[in-house]
Amino acid sequence: MRRLLHPLSFLLLAGCLRVPPSVGPDGAPGAPDAGPSAPEPLAIRALTVRDRGGAEWPTEGAPRWPVLALVFSEPLFVERDETPPLGLFAGPADDDLIDDLSAAPLRIATRERQVPAAISVEGATWTIRPDAPLAPGARVTVAVGTWAEAAARGQRLAEPWTAEVVVSDAPEAGARVTDTWPADGAAAVAPAIAELAVRFDGPVEGVADGIALLDGDRPVEASVEAAPCPALGFDGGWCARLVPGAALARGAPHRLVIAETVRDATGAPVGPFEARFTTATEPDREPPRLSAGACALDEAELPIGCLFTDDASFTLRFRASEPVRAELTVAGRTLRAVAPRGEARLGTDGLPSDEALDAVLRVTDAAGRESARALTIRTTPPLAAVSLVEVRADPNGPEPRQEYVEVLNWGAVTVDLHGFSLSDRVDREGDRLEGPAALAPGQRALLVADGFDPEDPADPPVPPGVPLIRLGRSIAGGGLSNAGEPLYLRDPEGHRISASPGVPAPDEGACLVRVGDRMRAGDAAAFEGRPCTPGTADR
């Protein structure tokens, strides 16, 4: 039993007694006695977000490893074995979470959303400390259930309480290790490796004393210092360089170790972390070799790789015979990449159309041996300004009939889509658009199957003025995959003019929607899950 009688019970019993009316000085009945004022309900007074150094942050831009303090109007009472009345949950508060906070225990689905964290109590303040850093841009919910009970008066929350916290994606909000050279798990690393490197995605302190190289459990003599990332082959970030004092032992396991003493800008530890690699049994005497591999339908096959170009950008893909750091100089720019498996992709945009650009590609292996190749990159003449802007792979209505791909003419002239093609394969043309299909500037059209119903009640209706371009029994060879598949829109000459990424459908009835002004891009950063708005701009 919790208690035989709560102190508040005396107030409740007193409320059952009949109190005589007050009497005035002349014996006449006076004004009724208002009695004691009703106690204030249990409430949350404040939510504060601090970093490990004690600095306060806004809830809409929290550090990656936050300390969340929730202040109640008075201390709470909690049974030893009772579900804590508050917690941290992944994602924003939705109806299911709020409904489940009305009574303990939490449902399994809700418990699966809980972010592992330590909870401590001091008076009326409850503090939540996640067990690990949160991802940049993550949204989490601090939530309090209605079984939160005041210790002194027994009152409970009238309804669930939630507050959303958004983790900042600024580098100053925290740091983690993103890359190492050699990469974790690498084998046959040259014993004569010239330098090792660590890249962080935010500023850090303490690298000189907090990073070490071990041969088994034995420290390896090496100098450690902060260094510019470009000098180590990384295109941006915060980096540290380790230079061994001598060649490493052959055929031996090694560990690149980062201690907890390495701290980010918020005072949170970046370690412990380690990357393991094994050295080769023989010295590396050959420079890396380059090859193209399989090229896409709209890529040019070069001796050193596959080159994709449009009227403002290019992407060079290549495969090296061993792990390398790559550097490409072109049009006054230097592009860098680290290829731990030998495969790399380098590219840029903002280039002039229909122009030949001289470039030089250099790749360097762990032993410092370099291969360099000169090449010419030619951008195409101006292409049609038509892009894939919305993909519905998982409609509420029947599949694949109610799937669609929306295109937009974002240019200044009308484009006839006759002869264009849509494909889910880099090596095939796919569905060719037949018949005249003029798309005016700013106009949208839907690429659909023959049986598509624009007025199917299960999904948002398509405005009657939006053209439907029917491609056959289904879109892209059997319909669009809910698990995600890339799509490529090509003009009649075979130039890729737009693409969408192969990421899973966001939810049933939702769409993958292009965001921002990157109309040519086909990477996942240019798209996000949103409600479908067929034929219209995202409202």
pLDDT, tens digit (0-9, with 9 covering 90-100), for 438-458? 999 999 999 999 999 999 999
Backbone conformation region of residue 430, classed left if phi is above 0, alpha if psi is from -120 to 50, else beta: left
Residue 245 predicted with pLDDT over 90? yes
CA-nearest of 524, 505, 506, 504 to 516 is 524
**Which pTM was predicted?**
0.80
List Cβ neighbours of 537 (8 Å cut-off, separation of 6 or more).
none
Is the model more confident about 25 or about 258? Answer: 258
Backbone conformation region of residue 226, classed left if phi is above 0, alpha if psi is from -120 to 50, else beta: beta
Query: Residue 38's pLDDT is what?
Result: 62
Residue 370 predicted with pLDDT over 90? yes
Query: Residue 14's pLDDT is what?
Result: 30
200: Cα separation from own chain's centroid: 17
Give the start-end residues of each E strand in 15-54: 44-50
Query: Residue 16's pLDDT is what?
Result: 29
Q: Are strands 324-330 and 314-320 parallel, antiparallel or unpaired?
A: unpaired
List Cβ neighbours of 139 (8 Å cut-off, separation of 6 or more).
90, 91, 92, 164, 165, 166, 167
Confidence bin at 120 (pLDDT 50/70/90): very high
Tokens for 429, please give them: 């043309």
Query: Residue 538's pLDDT is what?
Result: 67
pLDDT in tens, 473-511: 889 878 899 999 999 999 999 999 999 999 999 989 999
Could you write out the DSSP letters of every residue in 215-231?
ETTEEPPEEEEEE-GGG
Partners of 386 in the β-ladder: 409
Query: Residue 6's pLDDT is what?
Result: 32
Query: Residue 519's pLDDT is what?
Result: 92
**By the 8 A CB rule, do 246 and 301 touch?**
no
Query: Residue 36's pLDDT is what?
Result: 59
Residue 12 predicted with pLDDT over 60? no
13-17, 230-234, 284-288, range with the lowest pLDDT: 13-17
Give the SS3 label for residue 168: coil
Residue 21 predicted with pLDDT over 70? no
pLDDT in tens, 303-360: 999 999 999 999 999 999 999 999 999 999 999 999 999 999 999 999 999 999 999 9
Give the start-end residues of each E strand in 245-396: 253-258, 263-264, 273-279, 290-291, 300-302, 305-309, 314-320, 324-330, 333-339, 343-348, 356-364, 370-378, 386-392
Buried b (16+ CB within 10 A) or exposed e, 518-530: ebbbbeeebbeeb
Query: Residue 24's pLDDT is what?
Result: 45
Confidence bin at 23 (pLDDT 50/70/90): very low
**By the 8 A CB rule, do 332 and 358 touch?**
no
Is the model more confident about 262 or about 478? Answer: 262
Query: Residue 285's pLDDT is what?
Result: 86
Is the model more confident about 83 or about 403? Answer: 403
Q: Is 196 exposed, middle or buried (0-12, 13-18, 19+ CB in 10 A)?
A: buried
Query: Residue 25's pLDDT is what?
Result: 44
Query: Residue 8's pLDDT is what?
Result: 28
pLDDT in tens, 174-227: 999 999 999 999 999 999 999 999 999 999 999 999 999 999 999 999 999 999
For residue 116, say if its preceding peptide bond is cis, omega within 30 degrees of 0.
Answer: no
> What's the CA gap between 207 and 210, in Å, rounded?
5
Partners of 10 in the β-ladder: none
**Residue pointed to by tokens 């037949």:** 434
Looking at residue 275, its amino acid is A
> What's the CA gap between 111 and 296, in Å, rounded?
45
Q: What's the mean per-residue pLDDT of the chain?
A: 90
CA-nearest of 285, 261, 259 to 272 is 259
Is the model more confident about 233 or about 37? Answer: 233
Query: Residue 47's pLDDT is what?
Result: 97
